[in-house]
């Protein structure tokens, strides 16, 4: 799990450390193809993927009981887990990308859980945590009135607390839940925060008061309601901690902190009239640090290079972005003796998805109505 990302409503795992890790990738040939008719794929482009270990595969059935329409794919090499919420029409789906091995799927939390939970329980927690992110977002993005609210008004820490609460409460409902489950996760989170200084995932201080309000969650709806309250509780406490003037001030009661969280978040939450308006107008921040360039276009299919800057030089990030987010990747031969690592985007829907993630795409003809003309760079 990476440090705190920019605010965003669509995903649960940050890209800050990921972007830093890209430094050191061998630079590729990142030239634009002036004649797209000569470009061709060296081999068919594909989404990087790996084969999961049995422990993770067995936990997928558990995750699908929580989220029957879950779309889950496995990464090839990138560690950690990523869940995103995407609209298909008016319906919001949960998509998950997961490292294929348990220790890399849990990333920095894995050593803290070893000896406290069995590998099977660790895998369940990894997946239920990500499902929790999706369900938390759905509360705001799939409102009964048809409008879409932007949950990135919540701090990333508040969203992590909500996902942890949901994961713990859903696991405790299972007949084979081990005794001391919640305490094992709280302790692991505390140790992780102390050893790694990872404030974005330092949920332990908020889990105990949040869970005390929900000693038993007998249904998924109850677990989710507790998770949402936990997010507001976190925001309320952070506001109290920031504004207090004397160290001896008493901490407000939990209901007061939840109410304070509502007072802070609700006026700051952005609303869209419907999913179409959300997809048209929202721009995230995850991919803003990368430079995307259209290098070839064949029919409706576009090929993009992706770079991150290192010492004033472009470093190819295409493969790791493809593996991280589940994008099509390959090598494009743009002319005699020139080949480029590239991402393949097949239609306007995929281009819109990149925009939602914050991609700024430099295009060959200077105007992209189906991306977003205001963000295209001539």
DSSP 192-247: HHHHH--GGG--HHHHHHHHHT-S---SHHHHHHHHHHHHHHHHHHHHHHHH--ST
| Beta strand spans in the chain (E) | 40-41, 71-74, 81-88, 91-98, 148-149, 271-272, 291-298, 301-310, 313-316, 328-335, 338-345, 361-362
Q: Which residue has the higher pLDDT, 25 or 131?
A: 131
pLDDT > 90 fraction of the chain, expressed in percent and rounded: 61
pLDDT of residue 320 exceeding 90: yes
pLDDT of residue 272 exceeding 70: yes
- Which helix (H) or strand (E) segment holds residue 157: the answer is helix 156-172
Report the range of poorest mean pLDDT among 31-35, 85-89, 282-286.
Answer: 31-35
pLDDT at site 30: 39
pLDDT at site 87: 94
Closest CA to 182 of 198, 194, 171, 196: 171
Let me know how long the chain is.
378
CA distances from 95 to 37, 63, 101, 125, 226 (A): 34, 12, 18, 17, 23
Instruction: Decide: helix, strand or coil at residue 318.
Output: helix
pLDDT at site 31: 40
User: Within 13 A of 333's CA, how many CA atoms are on the CB side?
Assistant: 9
Q: Is-contact 252 260, C-beta < 8 A?
A: yes
pLDDT at site 200: 67
Helix 181-196, helix 156-172: angle, nearest 10: 150
- Kind of pairing, strands 148-149 and 271-272? antiparallel
Distance CA 83, CA 136 (A): 11
Count the neighbouring beta carbons within 10 Å of the beta carbon of residue 179: 6
Closest CA to 223 of 183, 163, 181: 163
Burial (CB count <10 Å: 0-12, 13-18, 19+), residue 62: middle
Q: Is-contact 303 291, C-beta < 8 A?
A: no
User: Would you place residue 349 in the very low, low, confident or very high pLDDT band (cuts 50, 70, 90)?
Assistant: confident
Burial (CB count <10 Å: 0-12, 13-18, 19+), residue 216: exposed
pLDDT at site 22: 39
pLDDT of residue 367 exceeding 70: no
Distance CA 262, CA 256 (A): 10
Instruction: Decide: helix, strand or coil at residue 325.
Output: helix
pLDDT at site 10: 44
pLDDT of residue 175 exceeding 60: yes
Q: Is-contact 66 221, C-beta < 8 A?
A: no
pLDDT of residue 204 exceeding 70: yes
Own/partner pairs for 174-177, CB < 8 Å, 24+ apart? 174/62
CA distances from 187 to 39, 167, 194, 325 (A): 54, 15, 11, 30
pLDDT of residue 27 exceeding 90: no
Q: What rounded mean pLDDT belongs to the chain?
A: 84
pLDDT of residue 44 exceeding 90: yes
pLDDT at site 242: 75
pLDDT at site 314: 75
For residue range 276-288, what is the model confidence (pLDDT) as tens digits?
Answer: 999 989 988 889 8
pLDDT at site 209: 93
């Amino acid at each position: 799990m990476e440090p705190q990302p920019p605010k965003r409503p669509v995903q649960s795992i940050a890209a800050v450390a990921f972007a830093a890790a890209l430094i050191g990738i061998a630079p590729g040939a990142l030239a634009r193809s002036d004649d797209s008719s000569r470009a061709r794929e060296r081999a068919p482009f594909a989404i990087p993927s790996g084969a999961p270990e049995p422990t993770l595969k067995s936990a997928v059935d558990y995750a699908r009981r929580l989220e029957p329409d879950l779309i889950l794919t496995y990464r090839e090499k990138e560690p950690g887990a990523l869940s995103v919420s995407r609209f298909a029409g008016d319906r919001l789906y949960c998509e998950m990308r997961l490292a294929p091995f348990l220790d890399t799927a849990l990333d920095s939390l894995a050593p803290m859980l070893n000896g406290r939970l069995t590998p099977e329980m660790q895998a369940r927690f990894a997946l239920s945590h990500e499902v929790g992110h999706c369900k938390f977002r759905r509360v705001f993005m799939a409102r009964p009135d048809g409008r879409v609210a932007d949950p990135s008004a919540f701090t990333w820490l508040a969203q992590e607390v909500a996902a942890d609460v949901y994961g713990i409460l859903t696991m405790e409902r299972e007949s084979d839940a081990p005794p001391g489950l919640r305490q094992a996760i709280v302790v692991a989170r505390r140790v992780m925060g102390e050893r790694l200084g990872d404030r974005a995932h330092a949920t332990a201080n908020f889990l105990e008061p949040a869970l005390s309000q929900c000693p038993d969650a007998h249904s998924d709806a109850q677990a989710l309601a507790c998770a949402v309250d936990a997010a507001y509780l976190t925001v309320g406490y952070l506001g109290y901690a920031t504004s207090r003037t004397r160290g001896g001030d008493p901490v407000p009661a939990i209901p007061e902190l939840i109410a304070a969280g509502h007072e802070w978040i609700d006026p700051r939450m952005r609303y869209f009239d419907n999913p179409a308006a959300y997809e048209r107008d929202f721009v995230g921040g995850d991919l803003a640090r990368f430079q995307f360039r259209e290098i070839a276009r064949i029919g409706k299919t576009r090929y993009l290079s992706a770079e991150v800057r290192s010492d004033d030089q472009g470093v190819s990030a295409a493969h790791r972005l493809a593996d991280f987010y589940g994008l099509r990747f390959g090598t494009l031969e743009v002319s005699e003796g020139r080949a480029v690592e590239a991402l393949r985007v097949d239609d306007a829907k995929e281009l819109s998805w990149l925009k939602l993630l914050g991609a700024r795409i430099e295009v060959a003809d200077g105007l992209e109505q189906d991306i977003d003309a205001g963000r295209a760079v001539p």
